[in-house]
Amino acid sequence: MHDRPGDLTDLRGDCANCFGLCCVALPFTASADFAFDKDAGKPCPNLRGDHRCGIHAELRQKGFTGCTVYDCFGAGQRVSQVTFAGQDWRTASREHARLMAEVFPVVRQLHELLRYLTEALALPAARPIHADLRGALDDTERLARQTAQELAALDVGAHRQQVNVLLLKTSELVRAGTRGRKKDRRGADLMGARLEGADLRGANLRGACLIAADLTGADLRGADMIGADLRGADLTDADLTGAFFLTQPQVNAARGSAGTEVPRSVSRPAHWTPLR
């Protein structure tokens, strides 16, 4: 996997080759994102027998916005087709189904790291640490190839901490080459903040809470977006050219316009104002 720098093909969800694992393994709570409660390991009532969502075309209208902004980063198809060799949780033993639900969130975290590391290796500014990034990518891929039992016992949090050291170094190298004040808003509570036209070039927005923030016309070029919560954020006419560690779920959770510029690593969401 990932022989070409920046190739994220294998790190996107492929529902056709998954057994609806996100609809089974993950819990959710009745809220603005979900219409009702569901326990971990319990299939969603909307999940059909063919592992497809019965209300996929109406998720937002039916109160399941949370589903529309989720991506497993390709973990679903790996767990379904590789880790468990295509054995369906519906027809397997109860223990098999339990283990599959336990392993899926672990592999999802590993695939998220693979996604960040793959992007980091495509960033010219991070070239001084490319060897370390490649080593971390190979180690993470090796862990993701483990057996179900090994994955269930994996301390994925410890591995995330090791990889995060390299991602932080990547961020410093990339942002150093971006013009602007390079504001540090790491972990900042910016919920509902009025940031229209803000100069956030090269900003550190790692883990920042930008829920419902007004970023209309903001300049986010070269900003580190890893873990930033963009639910309901208004990105109308914002410029995210060169923003890095920005994932599809983050973009899907925000609002945008035809004038919003996004990096090539993500696609424009269908619910945004379409390009003319």
Report pLDDT digits (tens) over 8-56.
888 999 999 999 999 999 999 999 899 999 999 999 999 999 999 999 9
d(CA 5, CA 234): 31
Output the average pLDDT for the chain.
93
Confidence of residue 92 (pLDDT cuts 50, 70, 90): confident
Q: How far is CA 69 from CA 96, 123, 230, in A?
A: 28, 26, 10
pLDDT of residue 243: 96
pLDDT of residue 178: 85
Report pLDDT digits (tens) over 206-223.
999 999 999 999 999 999
The answer on pLDDT for 5 being more than 80 is no
pLDDT of residue 35: 93
Q: Name the percent of the chain lying above pLDDT 70.
A: 97
pLDDT of residue 6: 60
pLDDT of residue 271: 84
pLDDT of residue 196: 97
Report pLDDT digits (tens) over 219-231.
999 999 999 999 9
